[in-house]
Chain A
Amino acid sequence: MSARWTRKDLLGLRELSADEINFILETADAFKQVGTREIKKVPALRGKTLVNFFVEPSTRTRTSFELAAHRLSADVINISVSSSSLTKGETLKDTARNLQALHADILVLRHSSAGAPQFLAQRLKSSVINAGDGAHEHPTQGLLDLYTIREKRGKIANLHIVIVGDILFSRVARSNIFGLTKLGAQVTLVGPSTLVPREFEKLGVTVSHKIDEVLPDADVVNLLRIQHERQRKEYFPSIGEYTALFGLTKERAKKLKPDCLIMHPGPINRGVEIDSDVADGLQSVILAQVTNGLAVRMAVLYLCGGIAT
């Protein structure tokens, strides 16, 4: 562990070095073990205040950050869009300055606009943690995916990771691509050409539109959720057709290597991007991802929030 952590913010994986990513993953190892103790709480961030500021709805990410903060003994305030003054016309910057006036030490921000966390990080003394900004990045999801692959396969370098689905609008995909390529994995993106344009190959990955050709060689299949609530209907004809062409059905899952991991950031659409039996099968590590998300977020809060400011 040679790398030292010097950042007050975590905005994305794009700007991190491989050493910094590995340092977070190693720190997460120590925090994962806290969850197995009789008393699952350590005093590392005692006296610090964390604000969960979610301008977009999210239950699992917010809950994960909240529990991670509690386990580090920080105090937590949750603000969601419906209860915030943003609906009354206050700007993001003013809201944030108010939070700083309350001496919030860590701001966890989910926002529909790419770059919102960076905007605040440059203006606030508080640590800013990006919990998903637009279609840009979702670094803690990327980190927990890396952590899960490393935990289950013992390494990341030289593994073939296949990411399937709505890549174009997915911040999860971007954070995964940056993290995986930095750590030496081989990445293939799969989906309809409308959602997986060739431009992505500039990021050092392979693009394919035929899932059946890619699956037999995969070490990990990461299925992204089809966000049908966001009216992406113009990008593919129907949910049924998407499932027929790209869904991980029981039949398709038979093509996978026996030790291939099946991942999903959740919430899963059973019967759309993944069959119910496959989601609950032996190769699925979807629930391990949830457990690991907690450890990774504890590590990120400890590293960013524990730095003297």
Chain B
Amino acid sequence: MNDTKHNAGPARTPGVPIMDADAIRRALQRIGHEIVERNPDLKSVVLAGIPSRGVVVATRLAEFIRSSEKTDIATGVIDVAMHRDDVGTRAELPIVRESKLPLPLEERTVIIVDDVLFTGRTVRAAMDAISSFGRPARIQLAVLIDRGHRELPIRADYVGKNLPTATREQIQVRLSKVDNEPDAVWLVKE
């Protein structure tokens, strides 16, 4: 789908720093507040991260909300690999992982959480995946970075940073928990 979203691996081309650890923390805190504002019934909310970095972002959002609101909030994992529309067209097959969602989803608000929003195809796959578990009352979308270039009519409800990019550029998000590197967002030109 968006190959340029996650380019893991130690060899990183030098890029332009977009966000450092403090900026990421502040952005996630703000998203946390917005989620609380827009969802008075936090008990019905589940923050569903898309592996791998979306899961980390969802966990951090939940930590902020728990400490600021003194209330618990459910988290989950929504795997999109088996719901993608490009299996068989890529050299490398996406790794499938187990989804974990608190069931039933009826009456719940599922907030899909990812690090970067690009074409929107991953989010479409995530919505399909969620539908196979049940029919939530509503689905929302929270992302750390919105880099534009949508190929589907999808928009985020919560955005950490809007970042206009060229399609040939890459956004690299590093989160200490998955990458063994300090938190940072880089813009890498091809």
Q: Which residues of A contact B (CB under 8 A)?
A: 1, 4-5, 27, 29-34, 37-48, 72, 299, 302-303, 305-309
Contact = CB atoms under 8 A, between A and B. Distances in A.
Contact of A38 (B79, B81, B89, B132): B132
Given A1-B95, A303-B93, A30 B82 contact: yes
Given A29-B98, A302-B82, A302-B96, 14 more contacts: A1-B95, A27-B96, A30-B79, A37-B133, A38-B134, A42-B82, A42-B83, A42-B132, A45-B87, A48-B88, A305-B88, A306-B87, A308-B89, A308-B90
Contacts of A42: 82-83, 129, 132
25 contacts: A4-B92, A4-B93, A27-B95, A30-B79, A30-B97, A30-B98, A30-B99, A34-B132, A37-B133, A38-B133, A41-B132, A42-B132, A45-B88, A47-B88, A72-B82, A299-B96, A302-B82, A303-B93, A305-B88, A306-B88, A306-B93, A307-B88, A308-B88, A308-B89, A308-B91
Q: Choose among B88, B97, B129, B134 the residue with the greatest number of A CB atoms under 10 Å from its CB.
A: B88
B128 A5 contact: no
B84 interface: yes
B82 A34 contact: yes
B20 interface: no
Nearest to A105: B88
Main secondary structure on chain B at its contact with chain A?
Answer: loop
A45 B85 CA distance: 9
Contact of B93 (A5, A29, A33, A34): A5
Q: Choose among A4, A39, A42, A307 the residue with the greatest number of B CB atoms under 10 Å from its CB.
A: A42
Contacts of B133: 37-39
A174 to B, nearest CB: 28
Interface residues of B, number: 24
Nearest to A5: B93
A31 B82 contact: yes
B131 interface: yes
A6 to B, nearest CB: 9
Interface in B58-87: 79, 81-85, 87
Contacts of A309: 88
Given A42-B83, A43-B83, A37 B91 contact: no
Contacts of B132: 34, 37-42
Nearest to A3: B95
Question: Across chains A and B, which 8 residue pairs bring their CB atoms closest together, nearest first?
Answer: A30-B96, A39-B132, A42-B82, A44-B82, A306-B87, A30-B98, A306-B93, A37-B132
Contacts of A45: 87-88
B70 to A, nearest CB: 33
A44 B99 contact: no
A283 B93 CA distance: 37
B99 to A, nearest CB: 6
A292 to B, nearest CB: 14
Nearest to B132: A39
Contacts of B98: 29-30, 32-33
Interface in B17-58: none
Contacts of B96: 27, 30-31, 44, 299, 302
B91 to A, nearest CB: 6
Contacts of B97: 30
A5 B90 CA distance: 13
A44 B129 CA distance: 11
Contacts of A41: 132
Contacts of A4: 92-93
B76 to A, nearest CB: 12
A47 B85 CA distance: 10
A72 B82 CA distance: 8
